[in-house]
A and B are shown apart, each in its own frame.
Chain A
Amino acid sequence: MNSYSIVAEGLGKRFGDTTALDGFDLRVAGGSVCALLGPNGAGKTTAVRVLTTLARPHSGRALVAGFDVARRPAEVRRRIGLAGQEAAVDEILTGRENLEMWGRLHHLGAAAARRRAGELLERFGLAEAADRRVRHYSGGMRRRLDLAAAFIQAPRVLFLDEPTTGLDPRSRTEVWRTVRALADAGSTVLMTTQYLFEADQLARQIAVIDGGRVIADDTPERLKSLIGGDHLDLVVRDPARLGDAAAVLAGVAQAEPVADADARRLTAPVRDRVAALTTVVRELERRGIEVEDVSLRRPTLDEVFLSLTAEAAA
């Protein structure tokens, strides 16, 4: 029990008639990164709010850093950091002033707050922009400053709610690098995301959430093999050959190919990327089936959900 930084058991939370959490269970080992993956409205943010003492659960219980979030919220607050969906940074202050303010509010004392601010600015790659007002920061810089503020007291457990939402690809990469550095420094990180790709990049544990409960909880590898890994898409030129092409694809796929007749498109999950692609292309050529497009891609979140919910229903 003590080796877990986050333990949630049967958490339930309602807002009026809406059930936001419905028997939410999760265990995150100390020092690891866990991604909470789900679409809008799945309950990700509510889970984070309950675990960070911002909202009280109606049922179940949760321990964060060893303390009950409902009974000992003050103890929990001294051991966590939170970066919400909005960067809670002060635009009118400089980056340094922001961090010094949060340092003072964590009772570090003036000198220690100044030292800590300098340290974090350096570490989060903001040293050069430290004395510029945040109003002039890019989206990625704001997010990094926000993460630095969440990290002021070197928290045991860090909660990041969709840390890359609304960022351009370059800023997103910057934030990913920062999250990795935080995890390497020994913090336990629970982050929420809508993107399987992002969860895969950062986390060794992915918990898929839907309807307020965790429907799958595993390593990225096992989760992906569970849902069939990559997908092979192909578009045939002649709609009449769609059936023939489906037969070829079925030969290498892990599941029955899905056909979209209007778009003349076939989709199927495949395990061995390169071998499957080579086989399919060679077979199509041998049978004289012309194709307009062949591509390999990762499963979308929709496909993850369809696959997982289908599994749960079976």
Chain B
Amino acid sequence: MSALAAPDAPPRWSERLRWTLSDASVIARTNLTHWVRNPAAVLNLTLYPIVMVVLFGYVLGSAMNVAGGGDYREFLMPGMFSQTMAMGVMTTMTVVSLQTARGVTDRYRSTPISRPGVVLGRAFADIVNSVLELLILLACGLVAGWSWHRGIGDALAAVGLLLLLRFALIWVGIYLGLALTPEAASAAWLPLLPLTMLANTFVSPALLPGWLGAIAEWNPLSATVATCRMLFGNPGWQGDSWAAEHALTLAIGWPLLITLVFLPLSARRYRRLGG
């Protein structure tokens, strides 16, 4: 047999960084290959936004009013962008819990693979996936009569905020994926979906009963939605609570806080998997 062994551990941090990036690119490419070769995932990606825009924009939207006036579909689309980013946590969670159940995570952990590399690769693949999802949804929105009105710079800033939210949720997804069985992970949309709707995504919190409205105002998703409405120049972003008035601060603050809490938690969980 050939006496082939892994090269010696590099002493220099630059080498270690190179390995981390190389591992990350291998993991990301593998994940993207999965995705491209899985017709169900591709179909899901393109059909889901179309179905949602038709259902909420046209079926339910025909009976909807926007508090303060304006077109409902103009109001709706930033909500749908944010909801799609939030539901992206399901992708991360499902993949991580499947890999853990099938021993892939154990193999990662028992080899000299760079641990930050594994996570970076996962994060990169998820972000690429979400960018594609967002592009398709933006196109659907344009077809349905939605548009941005404040220039391309503000529109790109809104997209940036949406991806920031998705990035923060990667850590939640990894944490939950390591903690849950694949069965539990795939059932997680049940509590998750109402959480994404108990916000300003589909209706203005002002129209909700007081206590429910307060929860909706403070939902992290609401900050991103309200700020996106403002940056896109869509109706319905004004509110009079503290949370609504500081939407931009919260749209940056919430994802940072989520990352600060769940990044170390998921790293710790990964390290201690199996005791």
Identify the A interface with B (CB < 8 A). Answer: 13, 15, 49, 52-56, 74, 77-78, 80, 82, 84-88, 90, 92-93, 97, 101-102, 104-108, 112, 116, 119, 133, 149-150, 153-154, 185-186
Contact = CB atoms under 8 A, between A and B. Distances in A.
A125 to B, nearest CB: 15
A154 B113 contact: no
B232 to A, nearest CB: 37
B275 interface: yes
B110 A52 contact: yes
Contacts of B108: 105
Interface of B: 1-7, 9, 19, 22-23, 26-27, 30, 33-34, 37-38, 101-104, 106-113, 273-275
Contacts of B106: 49, 54, 82, 84, 88
Nearest to B109: A54
A49 to B, nearest CB: 6
Contacts of A108: 4, 6
Given A84-B106, A107-B22, A185-B1, A78 B33 contact: no
B111 to A, nearest CB: 6
Contact of B113 (A15, A52, A82, A106): A106
Contacts of A77: 110-112
Nearest to B37: A92
Nearest to A14: B275
Q: Looking at chain B's contact residues, is the secondary structure mostly helix, strand, loop, or mixed?
A: loop
Given A101-B30, A149-B107, A49 B274 contact: yes
Contacts of A102: 107, 111
B4 A116 contact: yes
Contacts of A84: 103, 106-107
B112 A82 contact: no
Nearest to A90: B30
Contact of B109 (A53, A90, A92, A186): A53
A15 B18 CA distance: 38
Contacts of A153: 4-6, 111
A133 B113 CA distance: 24
A92 B274 contact: no
B26 A104 contact: yes
Contacts of A97: 33
A108 B4 CA distance: 9
24 contacts: A52-B110, A56-B275, A77-B110, A78-B9, A82-B110, A90-B34, A90-B104, A92-B37, A101-B30, A105-B23, A105-B108, A106-B111, A106-B112, A106-B113, A107-B6, A107-B19, A107-B112, A108-B6, A116-B4, A133-B37, A150-B107, A153-B111, A154-B3, A185-B1
Nearest to A16: B275
Given A53-B110, A105-B113, 14 more contacts: A49-B106, A54-B110, A54-B273, A77-B110, A78-B112, A82-B110, A105-B26, A106-B113, A107-B19, A107-B112, A112-B4, A116-B4, A153-B4, A153-B6
B275 A88 contact: no
Contacts of B111: 77, 102, 105-106, 153
Nearest to B34: A92
Nearest to A159: B110
A88 B107 contact: yes
Contacts of A82: 106-107, 110
A149 B109 CA distance: 14
Contact of B2 (A74, A87, A119): A119
Contacts of B34: 90, 92-93
Contacts of A88: 102-104, 106-107
Contact of B33 (A74, A92, A106): A92
